[in-house]
Structures are given as structure tokens and as C-alpha cells.
């Protein structure tokens, strides 16, 4: 059994989410719901996050540096 491409992508997304939010990855990994399809592991509830737009990021940086 192997990780599906979807599961690998989910792992990378989870890592990115943890880096952005500066949180522990183990909590998010523990919350994954997994299922096996065609001898591959799939994540049925990948994490979600919204990245700031460039403009919102620049505005928040300007506010922080003021």
C-alpha cells in the first residue's frame, strides 16, 4: 500500500498550513480521516486554509511597521 498523489499533496498542504500558522503538525495529522482506494491511501478531510492576497499582506506589513 502506498500514499496516493492526493495524500502526498495533502501532506504538503498540511505542512504549509503548520508553517504559516506556526502550529504543531501532529495535531492536524491526527485529525486526518483515511481510506484505502485501489491499494492507495487517500485523505478524506484535507486541511483548508486561505492565503492572504498580496495586497492584504502588504497592508498588514505596512501596519506592523508603522
How distant, in Å, are the alpha carbons of 19, 25, 26, 63 from that of 55?
Answer: 21, 28, 32, 12
Domain segments of the chain as ranges: 2-65
For residue range 21-51, what is the model confidence (pLDDT) as tens digits? 899 999 999 999 999 999 999 999 998 877 6
As a whole number, the mean pLDDT across the chain is: 88
pTM recorded for the entire structure: 0.71
What pLDDT score was predicted for residue 52?
A: 67
CA nearest neighbour of 5 among 35, 34, 30, 42 = 42
Instruction: Give mean pLDDT, residues 5-25.
Output: 93
* Contact criterion met (CB below 8 Å) for 4 and 37: yes
The answer to whether residue 64 scores a pLDDT higher than 90 is no
CA dist., res. 42 & res. 51, Å (int) = 24
* Residue, of 18 and 49, whose pLDDT is higher: 18
**What is the spatial distance between Cα 37 and Cα 17, in angstroms, rounded to a whole number?**
26
Amino acid at each position: 500500500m502506498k500514499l496516493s498523489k492526493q495524500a502526498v499533496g495533502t501532506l504538503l498542504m498540511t505542512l504549509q498550513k503548520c508553517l504559516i500558522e506556526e502550529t504543531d503538525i501532529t495535531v492536524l495529522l491526527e485529525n486526518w480521516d483515511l481510506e484505502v482506494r485501489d491499494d492507495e491511501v487517500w485523505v478524506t478531510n484535507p486541511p483548508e486554509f486561505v492565503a492572504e492576497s498580496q495586497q492584504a499582506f502588504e497592508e498588514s506589513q505596512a501596519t506592523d511597521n508603522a
